[in-house]
């Protein structure tokens, strides 16, 4: 059936490519890609030769219209370099436009680093907030983190090695001593999962800059942490109101 198909690809381990994802790529008349070198390698590995076209959310309206025209008459598959398209990756504007145009939008779901990290973190999974990449500038990062201080959910962040230390430092300062997990290189040879409180992890990664791709999972504010906060606040008020 003609339409736009959102197809997830592995986040590091090619064996995670699903049978349906392969079938959709095989059926594709056109593959919209983030980077044709990355997707070219995947298609080559699968023994497929496909017409590819670069797509980003800052692609022009005309580029989007042309993809939608192709999706009206044939099978257009959208992939990103890794994992699920649209999750900190291009595609949102294309999917929105396709839906508005009444074009079939369907998916071969599969890996996403955020969900993979959450599922092995040991932190609460009943409510979580995916926060994507934090801004790189200290002030902007602190402002975003401040928005999350009262959110009673596990928080998921995408990170890179060079920024991890500074981000954990900001998280420790603003979110307090919550439990957290740094999940690195999931499904790859050097997969590593390190857990601790945010201040412990901030100290650890101030010393070593890790390589590779990273998800930071931060637990919700605990009742205990809440009480400590209230207690400290109450103590401060009590001390301030004490006669000299």
Can you tell me the distance from the alpha carbon of 170 to that of 145, in angstroms, rounded to the nearest whole number? 8
Do 148 and 175 meet the contact criterion of CB atoms below 8 Å apart? Answer: yes
33 binds ligand SAM (CB under 6 A): no
84 binds ligand SAM (CB under 6 A): yes
CA distance linking residue 148 with residue 134, whole number of Å: 12
Task: Using the rule CB under 6 A, give the single segment among 35-43, 99-107, 152-160, 227-235 that binds ligand SAM.
Answer: 152-160
The reply to whether 121 sits near ligand SAM by the rule CB under 6 A is no
Residue 89 near ligand SAM by CB under 6 A = yes
Phi, psi of 39 (to 5 degrees): -70, -30
Task: Output the six-digit token pair for 95.
Answer: 């999917």
- Binding residues for ligand SAM restricted to 157-176, rule: CB under 6 A: 158-160
* Using rule CB under 6 A, residue 188 touches ligand SAM: yes
Pick the closer one to ligand SAM by CB: 106 or 226: 106
Residue 118 engages ligand SAM in binding (rule: CB under 6 A) = no
193 near ligand SAM, rule: CB under 6 A: no
Binding site for ligand SAM (CB under 6 A): 11-12, 80, 82-84, 87-89, 112-114, 158-160, 183-188, 213-215
């Amino acid at each position: 059936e003609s339409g736009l198909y959102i197809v997830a690809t592995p986040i590091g381990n090619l064996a995670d490519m699903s049978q349906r994802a392969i079938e959709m790529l095989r059926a594709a008349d056109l593959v919209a890609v983030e980077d044709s070198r990355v997707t070219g390698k995947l298609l080559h590995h699968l023994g497929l030769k496909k017409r590819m076209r670069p797509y980003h959310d800052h692609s022009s309206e005309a580029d989007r219209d042309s993809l939608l025209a192709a999706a009206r008459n044939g099978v257009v598959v959208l992939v990103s370099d890794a994992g699920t398209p649209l999750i900190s990756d291009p595609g949102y504007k294309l999917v929105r436009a396709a839906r508005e145009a009444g074009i079939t939008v369907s998916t071969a779901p599969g890996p996403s680093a955020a969900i993979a990290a959450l599922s092995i973190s040991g932190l609460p999974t009943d409510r979580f907030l995916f926060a994507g990449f934090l801004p790189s500038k200290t002030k902007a990062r602190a402002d975003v983190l401040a928005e999350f201080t009262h959110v009673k959910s596990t928080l998921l962040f995408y990170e890179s090695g060079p920024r991890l230390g500074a981000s954990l430092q900001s998280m420790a300062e603003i979110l307090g001593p919550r439990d957290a997990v740094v999940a690195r290189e999931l499904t790859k040879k050097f997969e590593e999962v390190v857990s601790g409180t945010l201040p412990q992890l901030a100290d650890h990664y101030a010393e070593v800059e890790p390589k590779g791709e990273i998800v930071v999972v931060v637990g919700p504010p605990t009742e205990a942490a809440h009480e400590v906060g209230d207690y400290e606040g109450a103590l401060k008020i009590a001390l301030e109101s004490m006669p000299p």
